[in-house]
Amino acid sequence: MVNDVEPYRWLKVLVNAAINPVTAILRARNGVILEDSNARALAEAVVREGVEVVNRLDIRLPSDPLVETLRVAETTRDNKSSMLQDVLNRRRTEVDYINGAIVIKGREVGVNTPVNYVLWLLVKALEVSSYK
């Protein structure tokens, strides 16, 4: 039990924002974040932007989100992220609630989040193209 769930919720959002859209776009398992330097660079950029938003919100995260992202990518390296599964199964993804939430909250607090924005748009485009 914790007194304030918000820091934990934001940590989970940042980890999911870094892993899920990258795996969905690349159509790769979670381990791609560790195995491909470009995928890792994207994940790191997503986390950096998210941390800026969280800092502006004056939220203290319970642990380092990049360390947590890499830990989750390692422990789930053979898994297909939920976002990848949604894309493969032609379902709507949760990208609006993950990367989209970072972008929207970033706008509210004056933080630019271009990497999250591009990933949000790319996954939304995948959703539309998957319905055809």
Q: How confident is the model at residue 3 (pLDDT cuts 50, 70, 90)?
A: confident
Rounded to two decimals, the pTM is 0.94
**What was the pLDDT predicted at 94?**
97
Percent of all residues in the chain with a pLDDT value above 70, rounded to a whole number: 97
CA gap 16, 50 in Å, rounded: 11
**What was the pLDDT predicted at 109?**
98
Percent of all residues in the chain with a pLDDT value above 90, rounded to a whole number: 92
Which amino acids are annotated catalytic?
12
Tracing tokens 């195995």 back to the chain, one arrives at 35
pLDDT tens profile 35-67: 999 999 999 999 999 999 999 999 999 999 999
Q: Which residue has the higher pLDDT, 127 or 78?
A: 78
Give CB contacts under 8 A, 24+ apart, made by 59-66.
59/6, 59/7, 59/10, 60/7, 61/7, 61/10, 61/11, 61/14, 62/7, 62/8, 62/11, 63/11, 65/11, 65/14, 65/15, 65/18
**What was the pLDDT predicted at 4?**
82
CB within 8 Å of 10: residues ≥ 6 apart? 50, 54, 57, 59, 61
Q: Taking residues 106-131, what's their average pLDDT?
A: 93
Exposed (0-12), middle (13-18) or buried (19+): which is 38, by Cβ within 10 Å? exposed
- Tell me: pLDDT of 78 over 80: yes
